[in-house]
Amino acid sequence: MIIGSISENKEIEKRISITPDIAKKYIANGFQILLEVGYGSHLGISDNQFLNQGCKIEKKENILKQSDVVLQLNLPEEKNLEFFQENKILIGSFNSSQNLEKIAKFKSKKISIFSLELLPRITRAQSMDILSSQANLAGYKAVVDSFAEFKKAIPMMMTAAGTISAAKVLVIGAGVAGLQAIATAKRMGAIVFATDVRTASKEQVESLGGKFLVVEGSENLETEGGYAKEASEEFKKKQENLLAETLKKTDIVICTALIPGKKAPLIINEKMIEDMQTGSVIYDLAASQGGNAAYTKVDEIVEKNGVTILGEKNILNKLPVSASNLYAKNLFNFILNLYDKKNNKININLEDEIINKTLVK
């Protein structure tokens, strides 16, 4: 059973799907590993490090022709489709709801495609949950970058010359990224507030030392799968009023609110930004899906009324080694769930909820 992976377009994606440590685990489980020349060189991982673990280094065309399973982050470019053999398997994070046409071309060659952002939120799938592992890092890095942009100290400091007040941070969306943002900001000495449409988030926020902003008469807007769902117009209005007042006193805002498969909800409008303090910073982690804040532009630093707004298409490119380590482990656990070791084959058992939900139909 051969597993292969080719280099991503490094201009948009610096993470890799197989690391030397994980390659060793695959080989210990009976797999062969094929990787492209220079696969991890941009991360300081030489081809020799993979060879020492028992991998083989091949040309891209040979990898795609020989591999039973191909592991990637993004969909391979269409020009590579000719090298794929029928009845093979492609696994990654392919934003399946937005890439239906591209995916259809791969499926036309009878390639089974698994997209791991579709994983169900169940206990058995936690070790494969790429959204959680990557969002953890994104929440951490958004705080670090925001603090670097902020022109003041973060923690309260008492000196002989006077006292410096602690920075006030607001985290919008208390999912995995938001909770990590809260924890990181709190560790660095900030006063942290958070808001989320899911009422269950309150306890989590408070356990990390944050203060949860409650919208009066709020309803629980959480799907059975644990994600946020669209709020009613009445709720949005109440949330808007609460945020408007909070933002006037906030130094740094971390936006993390996303609805899977949909445009990100606009939460911070132009008027709110106008009323914020000069020198404030907004980091919009939802930038690639339209942004939670007005004026957000992907991969640009925007300044409006003295407020700096940041948003990157792929913040994980700033932490590619850590992100690759976690992503590779997620994929390895997913493969073990698919693999029938006794018969040395991939078993697409549609009665398994994990397999059924992630298979792009």
b/e sequence 129-151, b meaning 16+ C-beta within 10 Å: bbbbbbbbbbbbbbbbbbbebbe
- The C-alpha atoms of residue 174 and residue 193 are separated, in whole angstroms, by 10
**Among residues 35, 79, 83, which one has the least CA distance to residue 55?**
35
**AA letter at 50:** F
Q: Which residue has the tokens 């009066």?
A: 216
Our answer to whether residue 121 is catalytic in this structure is yes
Helices vs strands, H then E, count in the chain: 11, 17
Q: Compute the residue count for the chain.
A: 361
Our answer to whether residue 227 is catalytic in this structure is yes
- The C-alpha atoms of residue 67 and residue 2 are separated, in whole angstroms, by 5
- The C-alpha atoms of residue 201 and residue 323 are separated, in whole angstroms, by 25
Distance linking the first and last C-alpha atoms of the chain? 24
Candidates 67, 112, 132, 239; catalytic one: 132
Candidates 121, 127, 145, 322; catalytic one: 121
Query: For residue 254, what are the β-bridge partners?
Result: 171, 283
Our answer to whether residue 129 is catalytic in this structure is yes
Candidates 68, 97, 127, 227; catalytic one: 227
Candidates 15, 67, 96, 129; catalytic one: 129
List all residues 6 or more positions away from 313 whose beta carbon is below 8 Å from its beta carbon.
Answer: 12, 287, 288, 298, 299
Q: Which residue has the tokens 């990557």?
A: 134
Q: Which residue has the tokens 């698919």?
A: 338
Our answer to whether residue 126 is catalytic in this structure is yes
* Beta carbons of 155 and 166 less than 8 angstroms apart: yes
* Beta carbons of 3 and 68 less than 8 angstroms apart: yes
Candidates 85, 108, 126, 165; catalytic one: 126
- The C-alpha atoms of residue 132 and residue 154 are separated, in whole angstroms, by 27
Our answer to whether residue 207 is catalytic in this structure is no
Instruction: Indicate the SS3 state at residue 93.
Output: coil
Q: Which two tokens stand for residue 121?
A: 């939120």
* Beta carbons of 134 and 327 less than 8 angstroms apart: yes
Round the CA-based radius of gyration of the chain to a whole number and report it: 22
Residues with a catalytic annotation lie at 121, 126, 129, 132, 227
